[in-house]
Structure 1
Amino acid sequence: MTTRTVTRIIPAQATSDGAGVKLKRSLGQSNATRHDPFLMLDEFFSDEPADYLAGFPSHPHRGFETVTYMLEGHMLHEDHLGNKGHLRDGGVQWMTAGRGVIHSEMPQQEAGRMRGFQLWINLPAAEKMQPASYQDISADNIPHLKLSEHSEAVLIAGRSNINDSDAVGYINGSDSRSRSTDPIYIDLRLGAAESASFKLPIDHNALVYVYEGDVTIGDQHLDLNTSAILSSGDTLIVKAKSSARLLILAARPIGEPIVQYGPFVMNSKDEIEQALKDYRDGVLAIA
């Protein structure tokens, strides 16, 4: 057994995106804060409508996937394909931008709490120009693995083993479509003084993001709103002093050059120029 340890800590920084939505960004603050194939991780969390009501009006993407996980709130996705999807408490939207998608994500509430995450996952060069697609996954379709009276794991994607129990997320479980990065996405909720042991593929890059409480991995203490990049290994052990909640993310690295310009993520400057031209010409999302 090789236990994963913390190799780097990335505190989340306050910023805004879209039309002024306030959020905290850990991965993606700069090119140096990516972790292949993970490009960006944002947390949005506010009880103040002014922080989120402007939402994310129509904007393009090309070359990667977005995963939006809504803990609390109601957001409507609409795109150029005519799709509409309502994202509500505990739900997930998994969107593959591929060749191109033009969409909006707008709050459908005028008051109350909006809380959740958006993760960007890169696509390999051979898959960047595939047709765009997306799926909405309601909370009642996402498996929960009970670990104890006070602890559980919400299994969004991937296959792993937690405390000697097989754990299969909705993506790779009910939705059997394969993804070349083989992503694992788990929301771990630990009770006070409890721990969890994960078996993760040794060829996967992995990280955690703490969004409630604090935890310990090895001899490293991790505070609230902190991402931690993990070493290689086949086992991850997370311990909580008080109750804690954190995201466990792992995926097979791509190992290709990354050139990003805002919402476009490609492998070369020429491909970025082509994406900009396609967007200007109105053919970004046309095969």
Structure 2
Amino acid sequence: MPTTEQGPFPPFDRFADTVANARVQRGLHEHLAEEVVTYVLDGQVHHEDGAGQHTVLRPGSVLLVTAHQEIRHELTMQPTQEGRAARWLSIVLRLPWHTQAPVTSVQIKDAGDAIPMTTTVVERPVVGSRARADSALGLECTDFEFTGEAETAIPLGRGHRGVAYVLQGRGRIEKEPVEAGMGAVFENIGRLAVHGAPGFRLFLASVPRTDSDESYPEGERFQGARYPGGKSR
């Protein structure tokens, strides 16, 4: 999600749900012409950048790397957490070269404050206009949690393309049954119909269409639900 079967889904390039039970250091890796979002769900995650700066990320922490120029970094389980589990979500998006070059940066923020959407649905802005981390691509990421059984329509705005990923629990997206670890892709959908049981948690990420995005079809598209190839446990 995006998967090989679904084909290219720019600017979304890779998506991973990582659970680490031990610290494995593979060294710094690079990002170039990419924007990368990391959202910590459980445990503590250790971040090291190319300048040798070390930061501990905790549940609710957001790491947003905008790499117009090369950035090197590494994410591992925090050493003091050995014997426990850490979980984080990662999304890699391609930065288009034909747009005005964004500033290369590394942002480490907390997710936004929880906002009641209904009496049984709470949304937490992770990246975007209502969050503390800003994306060069206009990426909007939100974490939805259902405290009780509910059916709701999440506004997206036409001309957007995105991914939906189930963090925990069971529910339905556009009437299709989903459970933890499953995801779907969508575009040009004004609202996303979601039904969730108590404890259902859904992560949404979407970007607006630009005038130069010829790859975007004009019609609506919803494709799911399935387990993404990037799941790592």
- TM-score range (shorter-chain normalised) is 0.7 to 0.9
Question: Which of 236, 249, 252 pairs up with 2:192?
Answer: 236
Please tell me whether the aligned partners of residues 143 and 156 of structure 1 are also in contact (alpha carbons under 8 angstroms): no
Deviations 1:182-236 (A, max 9, x none): 1110011113421332221211112211121122123322233111112422112
Tell me what 1:37 maps to: 11
Change (3 A) 1:238 1:88: same
Change (3 A) 1:195 1:63: same
Matching residue's letter, 2:60: G
Please tell me whether the aligned partners of residues 155 and 169 of structure 1 are also in contact (alpha carbons under 8 angstroms): yes
Please tell me whether the aligned partners of residues 38 and 89 of structure 2 are also in contact (alpha carbons under 8 angstroms): yes
Tell me what 2:132 maps to: 170
Deviations 1:89-137 (A, max 9, x none): 2111001122201222232121212112011122111469655310111
**Gaps spanning 5+ residues in structure 1: where?**
1-25, 160-167, 173-177, 258-287
Distance 2:6 2:150 in 1: 33
Please tell me whether the aligned partners of residues 191 and 242 of structure 1 are also in contact (alpha carbons under 8 angstroms): yes
Distance 2:46 2:122 in 1: 28
Please tell me whether the aligned partners of residues 47 and 54 of structure 2 are also in contact (alpha carbons under 8 angstroms): yes
Distance 1:31 1:86 in 2: 36
Shift, 1:244, TM fit: 0.7
Please tell me whether the aligned partners of residues 107 and 133 of structure 2 are also in contact (alpha carbons under 8 angstroms): no
Please tell me whether the aligned partners of residues 57 and 106 of structure 1 are also in contact (alpha carbons under 8 angstroms): no
**1:210-225 map, 5 Å:** 210-225=166-181
Q: Percent identity?
A: 21
Matching residue's letter, 2:206: A
Shift, 1:55, TM fit: 4.1
Please tell me whether the aligned partners of residues 64 and 128 of structure 1 are also in contact (alpha carbons under 8 angstroms): no
**Gaps spanning 5+ residues in structure 2: where?**
216-233
Matching residue's letter, 1:169: A
Tell me what 1:137 maps to: 109
Tell me what 2:89 maps to: 117
User: TM-score with structure 1 length normalisation?
Assistant: 0.65
In proportion to residue count, which structure has more helix?
1
User: TM-score with structure 2 length normalisation?
Assistant: 0.79
Q: Quick check: 1:202 aligned with 2:164? A: no
Moved over 4 A (4+): 31-34, 127-131
Tell me what 2:205 maps to: 249
Which stretch shifts more, 219-228 or 89-98? Answer: 219-228
Count of equivalent residues: 211
Q: Quick check: 1:66 aligned with 2:36? A: yes
Distance 1:62 1:128 in 2: 15
